[in-house]
């Protein structure tokens, strides 16, 4: 306990301790009247984590709660095992466990592994050109492996009407 004499007036009292969040409160001192501040329990200061992913834009959850999209900076509870999960359509989810100290900062980049699926193609005329997502592939192959996200296909050949379609390959379904 701290006892001190103060002149009458209004004061902001701030308590600080290493590894803890500061605590501030207003105290009004009246002449000849003791002021008592109830017991204060300081809270550990947060740690900070900087997260990035390849590719960018992965959804991030921390300890089961949505935190945002990469790149992301966020506070974490210190001195516990925090579970960070990353997910993005067309990629396998990733998980990292991290334990940090109060006021510690940590950065890491997670590379997500693409989920690929095989797409079987049967096109007439067989020598038509294939363009996927605006990039020429060449003559339409019998099959093509693509990530499990929506792709725009264009089939074209001189003298024929071009055809466009969007397809989301699924590893679990033959296409």
Q: What is the pLDDT of residue 2?
A: 79
Q: What is the pLDDT of residue 21?
A: 95
Q: What is the pLDDT of residue 99?
A: 97
Distances (CA, A) of 24 to 4, 15, 52, 57, 169: 17, 6, 35, 38, 56
Which pTM does this prediction carry? Answer: 0.73
CB 54 within 8 A of CB 88: no
CB-based contacts of 12: which residues, under 8 Å, 6+ apart?
Answer: 24, 25, 26, 27
- How many whole angstroms separate alpha carbon 123 and alpha carbon 152? 16
User: DSSP states of 94-131 as a string?
Assistant: EEEEE---TT-EEEEEEEPPBPEEEEE---SSTT-EEE
pLDDT tens-place string over residues 27-75: 999 999 998 888 899 999 999 999 999 999 999 999 999 999 999 999 9
């Amino acid at each position: 306990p701290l006892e001190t004499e103060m002149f009458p007036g209004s004061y902001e009292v701030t308590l600080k301790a290493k590894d803890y969040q500061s605590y501030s409160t207003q105290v009004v001192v009246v002449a000849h009247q003791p002021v008592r501040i109830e017991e204060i329990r300081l809270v550990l200061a947060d740690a900070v984590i900087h997260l990035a992913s390849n590719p960018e834009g992965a959804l991030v959850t921390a300890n089961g709660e949505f935190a945002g999209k990469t790149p992301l900076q966020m506070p974490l509870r210190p001195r516990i095992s925090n579970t960070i999960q990353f997910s993005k359509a067309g990629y396998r989810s990733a998980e990292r466990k991290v334990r940090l100290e109060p006021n510690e900062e940590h950065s890491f980049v997670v590379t997500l592994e693409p989920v690929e699926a095989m797409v079987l193609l049967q096109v007439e005329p067989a020598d038509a050109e294939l363009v996927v997502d605006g990039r020429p592939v060449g003559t339409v192959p019998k099959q093509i492996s693509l990530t499990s996200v929506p792709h725009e296909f264009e089939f074209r050949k001189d003298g024929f009407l071009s055809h466009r379609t969007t397809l989301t390959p699924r590893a679990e379904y033959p296409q």
